Amino acid sequence: MVKKTLEDIKNTLKGVDASEISYAERGYHLAIEAQKGSLIGVVEFFADKGFYLADLCCVDYAEYLELVYLFNNFKELCRVKVTLKVEPDKPVAPTISHIYTMAHWYEREIHEFFGVYFEGHQKLTYLFLHNGIDCYPLRKNRVPVTDDDKKLLDSFKPEEEEDAFFINLGPQHPSTHGVLRVVLKMDGEYILSAEPVLGYLHRMHEKMAENRSYQQFLPNPARMDYPGALLFNLAHVAAVEKLCGIEVPERAQYIRTITCELNRISSHLLWIGAFLGDLGGLTPFLYAFDDRENILDILESATGSRLTYCYFRFGGLYNDIDDTFIDMTKKFIKRMHERLGMYEKLITKNVIFINRVRGIGILEQSEVPKYGCSGPIIRSTGMPFDIRKVEPYAAYDKIDFEIPTGKTGDNMDRYMVRMKEMEISLNIVEKAIEKLPSGPINAEKVPKKLKPPKGDVYHAVESTRGETGVYIVSDESDKPYRMRWRVPSFSNLMTFPALAQRTLLADAIATMGSFDLVIPEIDR
């Protein structure tokens, strides 16, 4: 199937340098080298074919800067990498933000971290950073920010306007779940426009990765997405394993699946509590945390920590699970099935809750590729896209499970999809425990100091919020040359300004709550 699509792409796109790549080694099927003149044509072609922009990042090779556009298709797996080389001094590239809405933010991010100008971009102002920073942080050599550029970056100021006023939602607000700031332009109770300002928790993970060896970076992913720490841990570990060609024993794969799914349930439970808390119901918060503590007990017995797990190692695990772990898990599954019934009675059938969420914050299915969002948000629009199914990792290909989908893509559907996902996760854990093979949990001959071969790799996992991808460029040293994190909340949040427009402030809070945002993940 993929072969046919690739042939199709190669035949249509004549005049650009396209080469097929081994998917098993690199994580993408096709690499295309575009020129400044041909880039727009190539991107338009992919937009027509229904591809979504999975990621857009920049790599500094000292002699030139390389922009990397990663495309994928929701209908069938076909990852394409398009690269564009730009000059290191005064780098300029054409914008693609009129084709893909999501590129608006990606390009702003690249502009402030690398200093690349995008011709035709409407608003190249600060998204993450602030005006106290005087050089482009992710450049390999120190490049100071010019005064002109600083003026451009610092030009976002909400100004007063007749019949409209501004509200700052955040950075300290109980329903932004952290330190997100949204500048709302209001007309009475209605929102005229919403403009998220990020970066209040930018902790330089990508910069840190370049300063540390692969092993030293192991604890970091857990700090990026703390409710679903294991899934981010897995994304990092699996990407490096793909790059080095390390085979992971089967038992370890199964244990990874079990612990990841438990973590997914605990993350969804946290979300239910926070979401209902935003809507004004504090009772479910207490119930959800009660269940969550049970999962934390189970995971603590294996991983040693309560929240920010660092459990997976390159080629295996930190330690094996024992019979107590399995007994506790079985007990929990039984308990959780009962509790899900209780949640149904307590929340799903609650009239006040239904009225607050049904028919509000509707995301159209046709809009999804423009934003490149993923996870429960797109499944709620009726698109059965799940990385666990299309690009199986760990032991997901050996376990049969279904993908829950919604119909309309409103807040209610997003809630229902997550509730069903918890049930399915319980089934996955149950099946994985039944099939759990015995054997070693660590691959043999994994060197203490990893020095992966030259090249790049992209690996994606389905985290609790959607597609989490790691793009690593290696230069044969023990540190990654560049590590880029494609995070789901970032692209999911991009839909918020569109969904919040012309709605009541209270409804916008409900929509934001239903997104399950984790701010350190957005800010990285």
> Interface with another protein by CB under 8 A: which residues?
129-130, 132-133, 137, 171-174, 177-179, 199-204, 207-208, 211, 219-220, 223, 226-227, 270, 285-286, 289-290, 292-293, 306-308, 519-520
Give the three-class secondary structure for 3: helix
Looking from the CA of 244 toward its CB, the CA atoms found within 13 Å total 25
Question: Which residues does 349 contact at the CB level (< 8 Å), separation at least 6?
Answer: none
Please tell me the distance from the alpha carbon of residue 291 to that of residue 445, in angstroms, as a whole number: 40
Q: Compare residues 84 and 288 and give the one whose CB is closer to another protein.
A: 288
Amino acid, res. 464: T
Angle formed by the axes of helices 323-343 and 250-279, nearest 10° = 30
Question: Please, are residues 93 and 117 in contact by the beta-carbon 8 Å criterion?
Answer: yes
Please tell me the distance from the alpha carbon of residue 17 to that of residue 84, in angstroms, as a whole number: 11
Please report how close the Cβ of residue 26 comes to another protein at its closest, in angstroms. Answer: 30
Q: Compare residues 289 and 401 and give the one whose CB is closer to another protein.
A: 289
Length of the chain counted residue by residue = 524
The helix (H) or strand (E) run that includes residue 419 is helix 411-435
Q: Compare residues 79 and 202 and give the one whose CB is closer to another protein.
A: 202
Lay out the sheet containing 466-474: strands in order across.
455-463, 466-474, 480-486
Please tell me the distance from the alpha carbon of residue 387 to that of residue 357, in angstroms, as a whole number: 27
The 3-state secondary structure of 80-121 reads: EEEEEEECCCCCEEECCCCCCCCHHHHHHHHHHHHCCEEECC
Burial class (CB in 10 A: 0-12, 13-18, 19+), 145: middle
Both structure tokens of 75 = 């209908």
As beta bridge partners, residue 83 has 33, 68
Looking from the CA of 25 toward its CB, the CA atoms found within 13 Å total 9
Q: Compare residues 277 and 452 and give the one whose CB is closer to another protein.
A: 277
Please tell me the distance from the alpha carbon of residue 296 to that of residue 287, in angstroms, as a whole number: 15
Question: Which residues does 159 contact at the CB level (< 8 Å), separation at least 6?
Answer: none
Please tell me the distance from the alpha carbon of residue 358 to that of residue 218, in angstroms, as a whole number: 41
- Preceding amide of 171 cis, omega within 30: yes
Please report how close the Cβ of residue 408 comes to another protein at its closest, in angstroms. Answer: 31
Lay out the sheet containing 181-187: strands in order across.
165-169, 181-187, 190-197
Please report how close the Cβ of residue 221 comes to another protein at its closest, in angstroms. Answer: 12
> Given CA atoms 17, 20, 24, 28 in this order, what sign does their dihedral have?
positive
Please tell me the distance from the alpha carbon of residue 118 to that of residue 131, in angstroms, as a whole number: 20
DSSP per-residue string spanning 452-486: PPSEEEEEEEEETTEEEEEEEEE-SSSSEEEEEEE
Please report how close the Cβ of residue 291 comes to another protein at its closest, in angstroms. Answer: 10
Please report how close the Cβ of residue 524 comes to another protein at its closest, in angstroms. Answer: 11
Give the three-class secondary structure for 23: helix
